[in-house]
Amino acid sequence: MELVSDWASHGGRQLVCRHASEAAGGEMTFAVFLPPGAEEGPKPILWYLSGLTCTHANVMEKGEYRRAAAEAGVIVICPDTSPRGDAADDPAYDLGQGAGFYFDATQAPWAGRYNMKTYVTEELPALVAAEFPADMDRQGIFGHSMGGHGALTLALGLPGRFRSVSAFAPIVAPSLVPWGEKALSAYLGPDRAAWRRHDAVAMIEDGGRVDEILVDQGEADSFLDRELRPELLERACAEAGIPLTLRRHPGYDHSYYFISTFMGDHVNFHAERLRR
């Protein structure tokens, strides 16, 4: 692992690291915030999964999570959203680089490198556990948009791994919206039954469970009705008996202005559950 940069922030350290990834077939970069006192012993870990077009840097530079994470004593890990370099690509922003969707592709030309589920649930956690003072028994996960989809599906698909899960404006039912249909068909093929294992609403319908979910959604989000459809998650959780706090915010859009406004609430939500 190579340390790319190291900044002091809120009494802790904001790092950017690079490493060779077998899952992604090349170099991957990720951000790590170590809160004050991290050298004194293992700290809870919070994974943030970014949305379409993003790298590790978007939330690191605009997400405003460090003050809350420093006060809560939580490590925050921010992976990239896809393989980079000579990875297969597509001219559209919603497929290929910057659009890994947090599952493992099975279809050419994506198979072999687009293994983002393996990367964020196996390879990167193993590296983090080896290199940082992370308490791997206390993990939470959250994300934005495509990353909110990833946070929900990974938490639902890995029972017991994460003590907490939340999302900003997540894609809750990718099988039913254009972004998701495009990615699922390209990466996984035409079998819609296989898509259900990567669709939060379908996973809940099929028996997937978490203790509770926090979601924030801007009502001025231009993707709300076509791509996000939080009402589908609301209905699925109600029918399954999963406590869902869905907060709708007038005037807020899909941007990091929205995310940064409510970031502290999410970090504190996770910190409270990670302390239990």
Burial class (CB in 10 A: 0-12, 13-18, 19+), 233: buried
153 is written with which tokens?
């599906």
Catalytic residues: 145, 221, 254
Residues 6 or more apart in contact with residue 97 via CB below 8 angstroms: 82, 83, 84, 87, 89
pLDDT given for residue 171 in this prediction:
98
Q: How far apart are CA 90 and CA 212, in angstroms?
A: 36
Residues 6+ apart with CB under 8 A from 54: 81, 98, 147
pLDDT in tens, the chain (276 residues): 999 999 999 999 999 999 999 999 999 999 999 999 999 999 999 999 999 999 999 999 999 999 999 999 999 999 999 999 877 778 889 999 999 999 999 999 999 999 999 999 999 999 999 999 999 999 999 999 999 999 999 999 999 999 999 999 999 999 999 999 999 999 999 999 999 999 999 999 999 999 999 999 999 999 999 999 999 999 999 999 999 999 999 999 999 999 999 999 999 999 999 998
User: How much is the pLDDT for 86?
Assistant: 78
DSSP output for 105-167: --STTTTTT-BHHHIIIIIHHHHHHHHS-EEEEEEEEEEETHHHHHHHHHHHHSTTT-SEEEE
CA–CA distance from 175 to each of 63, 135, 188 (Å)? 28, 34, 12
pLDDT value at residue 276: 85
Q: Tell me if 82 sits within 8 A of 97, measured CB to CB.
A: yes
- The per-type count for the chain, helices as H runs and strands as E runs, is 10, 9
Give CATH superfamily name and number for 2-170+253-275: Alpha/Beta hydrolase fold, catalytic domain (3.40.50.1820)
Please list, in sequence order, all residues whose beta carbon lies within 8 angstroms of the beta carbon of residue 6, skipping any fewer than 6 positions away. 13, 14, 15, 16
First to last CA, the chain: 32
